[in-house]
Amino acid sequence: MNAFINHFLFEFRTGIRNKTLLLMNYLFPLGFYAMMGLIMTGINPLFRETMIPAMSIFAVLAATILGLPDPLVTAREAGIFRNYKINGVPALSILVIPALTTIIHSSVVTIIIVTTAPLFFNAPLPVNWLYFIVTFMMTACACAGLSVLIGVISTSSRMTVLWSQLVFIPSMILGGMMVPFSMLPGAISKIALLLPATHAMNAFRGLAQNLTADFNPIGSLIILLASGVLAFGLAIYLFNWDRRNTSQPGHPLMALLVLLPYVIGIFILS
Amino acid sequence: MNDTVIQVIDFRKIYGDFVAVDGISFEVHRGEIFGLLGPNGAGKTSTLESLEGLRVPDGGSLRIMDVDPACQSRKLHNLIGVQLQNSGLPDSITLDEAMKFFCSYHAVLPRYDLLDRFGLKEKRREQYYQLSAGQQRRLGLALAVAHKPPVVFLDEPTAGLDVASRIELHNLMRELQSSGTTIILATHDMAEANEMANRLAILLRGKIATTGTPLELTATGAGFTKVSVRTKGDSLSDPELKFPAVSKRISKEEYVIYYSTDIGPTVSAIITHIKTREDLLVDLRVERPSLEDRFLEITTTGGIQ
């Protein structure tokens, strides 16, 4: 337990000490929030209705999808995980602790957004706080799991950027944060349902903000939870201490199984 | 010194079609410093990594204090301490954090005293990336021995260290040895291997080319002994002069250097010749073949025992 706490505290400090992580955890989401608050609320006053959930999702996406995978790849390539293995640091800690600390950083940013958005941008607070917290946690779990999985299967930092952007950019465009899901054309909306951001936004709208959900919000919560658990499971299964290790437990393409809950969701929810 | 701590029997490691280690066997005893030498690609790293539990052997067996490194990693990690060539620490970790972090995973109290001892006292709050290469190496060593493991693996421990740190490291190695710690020393530094190791194995193309004490290794092989002689007159100046067991002669500065395969008759004949010519012997030096000479001989001739 002492080891876990020490590891956790170190990772938490790294999230602030490391300039790249500080940018992804705090500066980028808060800067984007300020910009959106100043610009989008002027262009589209309806944006205020979903500003808090949208910016919370953005904070999670930036910290996890953009911030989490690369340090994992870099650490593996630098032989840090080899050192960890020799010294008895379990794979579970290596993957779960950075995810937990990132979720905490995202929570801090979300608290800042929730407390300042009504004051500065006249954004409505969540109606149901319990569902707001639950949805936030499910979203963070799904995105952190996916990020850790990207970190595990990526062979280099370059590949990490590619995989991360493959999730991040569609999430921004199709995830319901900028353009409502209801406005997406049929085929595009099916693609949107493969993204955690879409389900997060749907759950926030239907359960926390008391707005009309585009599809079953509880179903979205279940999908987020299932994909998060599946992603962490796959990441631990596919985890390799270093790239030269020939005893690879499974093929990296197995990571695509993480999409299973979302694919099932397309058939059940739409 | 006779109880076996590390046992390697017919160990093989293969990567695809490449046989990195081809059936090597050796034993290391308690309190011994065992040097593992070999050119790059000889199989040293594969052997070390398999003993450290990072690789699974493709044949044979490995045991560290009766623990199989490949499938008993939980037991293994408290038995061994490893100083990697690359220390393998996150850039942003401070020295105090690193000590606390690793000691907590070994369930021991942090050994901050080791940081002080390795000259890192002033750096304890600095981050890893702020250290020089030598300081990073010293930190790696401090972390490797902090939990007092019975077996320590040192991979190029003194590379990049200044003289004082090198002496300190060697002192620490001797101290560890006297307390019963077994040390596996992988190094390219022949002087270090000669000075520190009780026994050595030279690996070549995945096999053990030779093994023994440094003295045994230098005593075997073609090993020419170098006899450097300086006289007041020119009694040795004739290049056609022949002495017993001498295979080569060169002149360097004021010395004439003979390479002998049998030192006794050579020296005796040289002195007799100098006396006969009524010359005066100013200096005579006899240098045994060094471990480096022997290493080069083995690696260039490719001799496998």
pLDDT digits (tens, 9 = 90+) for B261-287: 888 899 999 999 999 999 999 999 888
Backbone angles phi, psi at B226, to 5 degrees: -95, 125
Query: Which residues on chain B are in Cβ contact (under 8 Å) with A75?
Result: 90
CA A220 from centre of chain:
15
State which amino acid sits at residue A190: K
What token pair was written down for B97?
């954090």
Per-residue model confidence (pLDDT) at position B133: 81
pLDDT at B66 over 90: yes
What token pair was written down for A234?
């796959």
What token pair was written down for B223?
């090993």
Q: How confident is residue B87, by pLDDT bands cut at 50, 70 and 90? A: low
pLDDT at B303 over 60: no
Find the mean pLDDT for residues B215-228. 76
Does A249 contact chain B (CB < 8 Å)? Answer: no
State which amino acid sits at residue A263: V
Residue ranges of A 83-122 with Cβ closer than 8 A to chain B: 83-89
Q: How confident is residue B304, by pLDDT bands cut at 50, 70 and 90? A: very low
pLDDT at A243 over 80: no
Per-residue model confidence (pLDDT) at position B305: 45
Inter-chain residue contact B105 with A75, CB threshold 8 Å: no
Per-residue model confidence (pLDDT) at position A244: 67
By CB neighbour count within 10 A (0-12 exposed, 13-18 middle, 19+ buried), where does B284 fall? Answer: middle
H/E run at residue A6: helix A2-17
Find the mean pLDDT for residues A34-50. 90
Query: Which residues on chain A are in Cβ contact (under 8 Å) with B77?
Result: 86-88
pLDDT at A132 over 50: yes
What token pair was written down for B259?
């390479």
How far off is chain B from A197, nearest CA to CA, in Å? 31
Q: How far is CA A242 from CA A42, A174, B16, B80, B239, in A?
A: 50, 35, 17, 20, 60
Quote the DSSP letter at residue B206.
T
Q: What is the dihedral of CA A196, A202, A203, A206, to 10 degrees?
A: 180
Mean pLDDT, chain A, rounded, equals 92
Percent of chain A at pLDDT > 70 equals: 97
Higher-pLDDT residue of B122, A203: A203
Quote the DSSP letter at residue B158.
T
Residue among A3, A17, A75 minimizing CB distance to B105: A3
Radius of gyration of chain A from Cα atoms? Answer: 18
Q: How far is residue B217's CA from residue B172's CA, in Å, rounded to a whole number? A: 25
- Please say whether the beta carbons of B69 and B232 come within 8 A: no
Higher-pLDDT residue of B14, A243: B14
Residue among A80, A81, A86 minimizing CB distance to B52: A86
**Which of A115-124, A228-237, B116-125 shows the lowest mean pLDDT across its residues?**
B116-125
What token pair was written down for A193?
């349902």
Inter-chain residue contact A83 with B56, CB threshold 8 Å: no
Strands B151-155 and B33-37: unpaired
State which amino acid sits at residue B294: R
Alpha-helical runs (H) found in A64-90: 69-77, 80-86
Find the mean pLDDT for residues B216-236. 81
DSSP conformation letters of B214-263:
HHHHHHSSS-PEEEEEEESSSTT--TT---TTEEEEEEETTEEEEEESSH
Find the mean pLDDT for residues B229-245. 90
Query: Which residues on chain A are in Cβ contact (under 8 Å) with B88?
Result: 78-84
Q: How far is residue A200's CA from residue B136's CA, in Å, rounded to a whole number? A: 44
SS3 content of chain B, % helix, strand, coil (to 5): 35, 30, 35
State which amino acid sits at residue B256: V
Quote the DSSP letter at residue A27.
I
A-B Cβ pairs (cutoff 8 Å, strict): 75
Residue among B54, B105, B143 minimizing CB distance to A82: B54
Nearest chain B alpha carbon to A247? B56
Residue among A13, A86, A245 minimizing CB distance to B77: A86
pLDDT digits (tens, 9 = 90+) for A220-234: 999 999 999 999 999
Q: How confident is residue B220, by pLDDT bands cut at 50, 70 and 90? A: low
For chain A, list the strands marked E by DSSP.
none
Contacts of A52 (CB under 8 A, 6+ apart): A113, A114, A117, A123, A124, A125, A126, A209
Per-residue model confidence (pLDDT) at position A245: 66
- Please say whether the beta carbons of A36 and A51 come within 8 A: yes
Query: Which residues on chain A are in Cβ contact (under 8 Å) with B54?
Result: 82, 85-86, 241-242, 245
Residue with tokens 């953009």: A66
Query: Which residues on chain A are in Cβ contact (under 8 Å) with B87?
Result: 83
pLDDT at A95 over 50: yes
**Best CA proximity match to B108, nearest among A3, A146, A224:** A3
Percent of chain A at pLDDT > 90 equals: 79
Q: How far is CA B206 from CA A18, A58, B22, B36, B203, in A?
A: 42, 53, 5, 12, 6
Q: How far is residue A193's CA from residue A177's CA, in Å, rounded to a whole number? A: 13
Find the mean pLDDT for residues B100-126. 91
Does B88 contact chain A (CB < 8 Å)? Answer: yes
Alpha-helical runs (H) found in chain B: 44-51, 73-79, 95-105, 112-117, 133-145, 163-178, 190-196, 214-219, 263-276, 291-301
Q: How far is residue B70's CA from residue B62's CA, in Å, rounded to a whole number? A: 8
Does A19 contact chain B (CB < 8 Å)? Answer: no
Does A246 contact chain B (CB < 8 Å)? Answer: yes
Query: Which residues on chain B are in Cβ contact (under 8 Å) with A14?
Result: 90, 92-93
State which amino acid sits at residue B284: L
State which amino acid sits at residue B157: P
pLDDT digits (tens, 9 = 90+) for A8-29: 999 999 888 888 899 999 999 9
Q: How far is residue A124's CA from residue A128's CA, in Å, rounded to a whole number? A: 12
Query: Which residues on chain B are in Cβ contact (under 8 Å) with A13?
Result: 92, 97
